[in-house]
Amino acid sequence: MTDQNVKTIPIFGYELVRDHILRSVLGKHEEEVLYWAGKELARKFPLFTLDEAPLFFEQAGWGALSIEKEEKDEIVYILSGEADTLKVEERCFRLEAGFLAEQIQKINGFLTECYEEKSSKQGIVKFNVKWDLKEPIR
């Protein structure tokens, strides 16, 4: 994305769709649908390196993404942001988890899954992304 493509929208409009309309429409399937929607977003907006993920998250208004730990078959990301916009306790973060899983699967070439852990006390979400080195995707 270039600076020319970036437009700001009121956070209230984003929250209406993200926290109220989607939850209402998707009901009990919210988590599964958002995970697969995140994977679809990753296919439409592919990253070429993992270093691009924090900028994408920032531009998407998802928060500040940073790496906490990186190993041969796992990366742990931390998502932080302003408490009133991140809404750790109230929001489902499966969209972001699916996005990360698909991007890393495409870049690394191995079957990849991601799950999140919310920490309301710290106001962060931890994304544990793991891939199976015995399951290539090519």
Q: Cα–Cα–Cα angle for 1, 22, 119, nearest 5°? A: 80
pLDDT value of residue 4: 60
pLDDT of 14 reads: 76
pLDDT single digits (tens) 16-38: 888 888 889 999 999 999 999 99
The pLDDT value recorded for residue 90 is 86
Where along the chain do its domains lie?
A: 8-136
Residue 17's pLDDT is 85
3-state secondary structure of 47: coil
**DSSP 3-state of 25:** helix
Q: Stretch 47-60: mean pLDDT, rounded?
A: 95
- At 98-135, the pLDDT tens digits run 999 999 999 999 999 999 999 989 999 999 999 999 99
Q: Are 39 and 32 in contact (CB under 8 A)?
A: no
Q: Which residue has the higher pLDDT, 12 or 47?
A: 47
Q: What is the mean pLDDT of residues 29-57?
A: 96
Per-residue pLDDT at 30: 93
pLDDT mean across residues, the chain: 91
- For residue 96, the model assigns a pLDDT of 97
What is the β-pairing status of strands 64-71 and 74-80?
A: antiparallel
Which residues, listed in sequence order, are joined to residue 125 by a DSSP beta bridge? 79, 118
Could you tell me which CATH class the domain 8-136 is placed in?
A: alpha beta
